[in-house]
Amino acid sequence: MTRIIAWDFDGVLNRNIVDGRFIWADRLEADLGLPLGPFTDYVFRSGRFQQVLLGRRDIRDLLAEWLQTQDADVGPDALLDYWFARDVHPDPQVMNWVAQVAQIQVIATNNEGRRADYIWHQMGFKTHMERMFAAGPMQAKKPDAAFFSQIEAWAGGSELLLIDDHAPNIAAARERGWQVFHFTDATRADLPGVLGL
């Protein structure tokens, strides 16, 4: 049976999370004059980003709305460009494993549409992966069943392996009969064996 490997992006293929935080925003205030606390509160902690993540709202519109509350000469496009460019941290070791894998590989990520497009085209992941499954375009996110079922429908009965750093996603995939690998700093050395490298 063909095995399809589904890679999570942030925290697995992209090493952009340190101590539970996305490091792209560490210099937001120093570089753009925008305060990180109010940004995080308005965009993420408020729950507004969930609508973006599910493809029901454009991230650009949400950023434009927040920027209207700030005294800064920065537009939503400039903020998006900054965000996406600063969030580029492909993990060299993981990417080396990706290059060695013979099976079909896809990305399975909780990202909205604009960043998914950036990952695929600007970051060049279309050269490494067969397809990208992203929450925004799918209008479903991990660990919801609708996210996994769309991949299963595309896979057509193939065996599926999820590599993810988020325990609830691993649990949800396992319950659906997927093979799983919980990717952490403590387990990453075991991944080549799971991949057959």
Closest to 50 measured CA to CA, from 63, 59, 37: 59
Give residue 1's pLDDT: 55
Q: Is the pLDDT of residue 197 over 70?
A: yes
Band of residue 165 on the pLDDT scale cut at 50, 70, 90: very high
Q: What average pLDDT is seen over the chain? A: 96
Mean pLDDT of 17-29: 91
Mean pLDDT of 122-129: 97
Least confident of 16-30, 101-115, 143-157: 16-30
Q: Where along the chain do its domains lie?
A: 3-16+89-195, 21-86
User: What is the separation of C-alpha 46 from the centre of its chain, rounded to a whole number of angstroms?
Assistant: 20
Q: What angle do CA 146, 151, 154 make, to 5 degrees?
A: 125
Report the alpha-carbon distance of residue 129 to residue 151 in Å, rounded: 14
Contact 34, 27 (CB under 8 A): no
Domain 3-16+89-195 -> CATH class? alpha beta
